[in-house]
Amino acid sequence: MSVKSPVSDEVFEKFLNKTTAKKLEKSFGLKGVKFEKSNISTAESVENVVKSAVFFFRSEFSPDKASKTYEEQEVDQNKLSKIKFYDFPKNVNQLDWKGKETVPMYNSIEEINCKNCGGMGYNSCKKCGGSGLVQCGKCDGSGQVQCKKCKGSGKMSFNIEVLVESKKDKKLLTYNCGECFGSGQVLCQSCKGIGKGLCNKCKQDFGKLFCKDCKGTGKNYKYKIESVPFKVPKEQFIPHLFFKSEFEKKIGEEISEIITTVDGIYIKSLKDMDDDFVKAQLGYFDGDIKDRMNNAKKLFQSLQKSKGPESPKFPIYLFPVLKLVVKPESGKSFNVYSIGTERGYAVFAPSF
């Protein structure tokens, strides 16, 4: 059996009783007529009545879990430029915060030497020991190669004809090779005689290898992902109301204070946060109610999984809502809301 909402006439009367005559006169007063609360007619003032519902739960705040926690990250300049950082000049209200509980903090950014290259931007080439030069492969580091003309002997020779007692004879004469001056070795053209050549691993930077970790800058950055500095609430319990966003905070705090006098449906398991259960309890259901139910369920689950200082507590309250669209004869239209069942409800007019 579904719960019953209060009678709209009684809701409007309760609104009139809790509102001062001076404030009511601004909207309901008529020029030249003495104002009396009793002159305000429900039938003439309430233009329409709409049924809806809200969800409400409270979470317990544990200060001992609110201590600052952080983890340190190290990145290069390129990655740092893509991170969204936060700066908090003062503590923030946890009810207003929609982001994560831990975020990258701007004031924690610190420039550090790259661990891979020690701040140099490069590492010495192991192949050449950082000199940029290696032993020439043509001359094995000597700076010289065998003379091709004399084949390394350093000598050249030729024959001459000699007549000895009318007999022809040939005599071999030798001389120093003119290419190598008799040494048998000539300058190595590959290394120009120095015995070394450019290292093929680092030849572009002559002994230096580009550090990929810091992109050659020699510097990286470290920063901290820290807990958002939330204000410590004065009360132990934090209210969460799922209604119209502009009213959630104010009405949620008021309901939390008078929760024992507002009657509703107790939901003690997230399994009951579904369309069929809610519709059966209320006797009606629509898209707004579904969105509020899903938002309440999502936040409750998120707080359950979180390691932060806020722990959600059952029950989740499902409150029927009546929206009275009020059109005073002389003032602007506004809405009056009742939250709760006929057995206990509260009245709010947040835009009045």
Residues 25 and 84 in one domain: no
Residues 341 and 250 in one domain: yes
Q: Which amino acid is at 197?
A: G
Give me the tens of pLDDT residue by residue for the chain, a chain 352 residues long.
688 999 999 999 999 999 999 999 888 888 888 888 988 899 999 999 999 999 999 998 776 665 566 789 999 989 999 999 999 998 887 767 888 888 999 999 999 999 999 999 999 998 888 888 888 889 998 889 999 999 989 999 999 998 888 888 899 999 999 899 989 999 999 888 888 888 888 876 788 888 888 988 999 999 999 888 877 665 578 889 898 887 777 788 888 888 888 999 999 999 999 999 999 999 999 999 999 999 999 999 999 988 777 889 999 999 999 999 999 987 789 999 999 999 999 999 988 8
Final residue before a domain boundary, out of 207, 227, 247: 227
Final residue before a domain boundary, out of 165, 199, 227: 227
Residues 80 and 219 in one domain: yes
- Do 216 and 117 touch, CB atoms closer than 8 A? no
pLDDT at 268: 95
Contacts from 26-35 at CB under 8 Å and sequence distance 24+? 26/331, 27/328, 27/330, 27/331, 27/332, 27/334, 27/352, 28/328, 28/329, 28/330, 28/331, 29/330, 30/329, 30/330, 31/330
Residues 317 and 260 in one domain: yes
Residues 223 and 328 in one domain: no
pLDDT at 306: 80
- Do 341 and 2 touch, CB atoms closer than 8 A? no
Final residue before a domain boundary, out of 168, 194, 227: 227
Residue 46 sits in which domain range?
8-66+232-348
- Secondary structure of residue 292 in the 3-state scheme: helix
d(CA 78, CA 222): 13
- Secondary structure of residue 272 in the 3-state scheme: helix
Residues 109 and 222 in one domain: yes
Residue appearing with tokens 């969460």: 240
Residues 221 and 238 in one domain: no
134 Cβ contact list (under 8 Å, min separation 6): 127, 128, 196, 197, 198, 199, 200
Does 315 map to a domain? Answer: yes
- Do 30 and 330 touch, CB atoms closer than 8 A? yes
Does 146 map to a domain? Answer: no
Number of domains in the chain: 2
pLDDT at 301: 95
Using alpha carbons, select from 90, 185, 204, 83 the residue that is nearest to residue 144: 185
pLDDT at 64: 62
Does 275 map to a domain? Answer: yes
Residues 40 and 74 in one domain: no
pLDDT at 235: 59
